[in-house]
Amino acid sequence: MKVAVVGAGLAGLSAADELHRGGAEVVVLEARERVGGRVWSRRLENGAVVEMGAEFILPGNTAVRELAERFGLGLWDKGMRYGRREPRGGTGTSLAEMEAAAAAAERELGRSAGDLSARRLLDGLQIPAGAREALLARVEISSGNSADLVAARDLAGIAHVDDEPAPSIAGGNQSLPLALAESLGRAVRLRSPVERVVWHAEGMRLRAAGAEIDADGCVVAVPASVLPRIRFEPALPDRLAHAVAAIQYGEAAKLFVPLRRPAAPSAVMAVPERYWTWTATADGDRPQPVVSAFAGSPAALARLDVSAGPDHWLASIESLRDDLELDPEGALLSTWSDDPWVGAAYSTSPPAEIGAAFERPVGPLAFAGEHAGGEFAALMEGAIRSGRRAAAALLTLYPAA
C-alpha cells in the first residue's frame, strides 16, 4: 500500500510514522520549507530557545512524552508552573482566591456542565469578582477565544490552578517533528502544497507543486481552517464539509524579549490585557535569558495592536514586569493569524459530534489534526493521537500492507 500524507505537522508525521511501521510505503507532502507546522523552535541571538508555537506538554499528555522518549529526547522542566500564574490588574485577586474559585468551578462542572459556555458557568458561581475575572482571563488566553465560545467542560483543562510540571522538549519542541521526519528518510517532501485530490474507492491522484502523485490511501492532516483550499474531486461528503466549516478557531500571539540578566522562574498574568508572561529554566536550573509572553483571543490581539508589530505589547510588558531587565531591541514576535498554512492558532472546543466526523475514513481518505484530537484537541497530544488513529484506520482498510 502506498499512502500520501498531506501536512508534516505532528498529526501528519505521527500518521506517517505509524503507517511506515505498519509496512506501508509513505510519502509526506508539506507546503512549508520545514516540518513541524505549529511546532517551531527558534534561538534568539543571546542563545535562549523559544517556541513560536506549541510550548508546554500539559499534565496527562502521555503520547507526546512517549514519543519524545522513543527518540531519546529529554525534557526541560522549565521551573515555573503553567497552572500557577500570579494574576495582576483588573479588580484584583490573589492566587489563593483564584485557586478556590477554580475548585468551585470544577465542582460545578461535576454536577452540571451540559452545553454551557465557560463564561455562563463562571457567571453563575458565587465567587469573588476579581477571581472570576482572573479565571475568565485564563480561559480566554489559553483557548485564544472569547469565553462565550469555550465549552465549560474545558475549564478543568485550561483554568486549573496547580503545580504540575508542564515541560517542553530539551533544546526545543521542534526536535520531535525533526526526529519523526528523519526516521521517515526521504519520504518527506517540503515545498509541496497539495492543491487537488482526485479520489475513488480504490485510490487517488494528488497534485502538489506541479507534480502528480498516485496513492492507494491518503491521510489529510492539514488544519480545518485551510482544508477547503484543497480541491477534492469528487467533493467531500456533506457531513465532513459541514464539520470542517463548523470548527471555530482561536487566535494567539507570542512575544519573546531577551533579558540583559537571566531571571528566576516566574509566571505573571496581565488579567485585563489577556496575556501572561513567564521566565523559565532550560537545562537543569539554568535560567534562560528571555521573558516569553502569550496573548490569546481576537480581542486581546486587537487591544495589543499585534498586527502593527510588538511596540504596544512591549510597553505593556515593561510596566507589568518591572522586576526584569528587558532588552527590547532583540524582541521577536510570533503571530499565526497571518500564517498562510493555518491562519489562526488552534481549534476552540470542537463539539464531540464534529470531532467524531473526522474519525471514520471516507473511502481511502482518512483525516487527522489537532481539531480531530477529541479531549486533547488544540494540543500537540491531540495532533499525535489523531494521526495515529487515521493511520490505524487505513491499515485496517488495507491489511495486506
Listed residue (53, 47, 12) closest to 177, CA to CA = 12
Residue placing its CB nearer to ligand FAD in the complex, 10 or 357? 10
Listed residue (374, 387, 379) closest to 20, CA to CA = 387
Give residues 271-300 in contact with ligand FAD (rule: CB under 6 A): none
30 binds ligand FAD (CB under 6 A): yes
Residue placing its CB nearer to ligand FAD in the complex, 68 or 342? 342
Listed residue (205, 218, 213, 226) closest to 367, CA to CA = 218
Residue 103 CA to residue 114 CA, distance in Å, equals 18
Interacting residue with ligand FAD among 9, 83, 90, 165 (CB under 6 A): 9
222 binds ligand FAD (CB under 6 A): yes
- Residue 330 identity (one-letter amino acid): G
Listed residue (148, 80, 144, 169) closest to 306, CA to CA = 144
Interacting residue with ligand FAD among 130, 165, 193, 289 (CB under 6 A): 193
First to last CA, the chain: 5
Residue 271 CA to residue 74 CA, distance in Å, equals 33
| Non-local CB neighbours of 206 within 8 Å, separated by 6+ positions | 4, 6, 29, 194, 196, 197, 198, 212, 213, 215, 218
378 binds ligand FAD (CB under 6 A): yes
54 binds ligand FAD (CB under 6 A): yes
Q: Which stretch binds ligand FAD (CB under 6 A): 2-10, 97-105, 155-163, 302-310?
A: 2-10
79 binds ligand FAD (CB under 6 A): no
345 binds ligand FAD (CB under 6 A): yes
CB of 345 to ligand FAD, least distance (A): 4
DSSP lists the bridge partners of residue 253 as: 295, 335
CB of 4 to ligand FAD, least distance (A): 10
**Is residue 3 a contact partner of residue 26, using CB atoms and an 8 Å limit?**
yes
Listed residue (155, 173, 76, 94) closest to 130, CA to CA = 94
For the chain, the residue count is 401
Interacting residue with ligand FAD among 55, 77, 273, 327 (CB under 6 A): 55
230 binds ligand FAD (CB under 6 A): yes
Q: Which stretch binds ligand FAD (CB under 6 A): 27-35, 151-159, 306-314, 357-365?
A: 27-35
3-state secondary structure of 373: coil
Residue placing its CB nearer to ligand FAD in the complex, 146 or 348? 348
CB of 28 to ligand FAD, least distance (A): 9
Q: Which stretch binds ligand FAD (CB under 6 A): 32-40, 284-292, 324-332, 354-362?
A: 32-40
Interacting residue with ligand FAD among 3, 6, 169, 293 (CB under 6 A): 6
* Residues near ligand FAD, by CB under 6 A: 6-12, 29-32, 37-39, 53-56, 193-194, 221-223, 226, 230, 252, 254, 336, 341-342, 345-346, 369-370, 378-381, 383
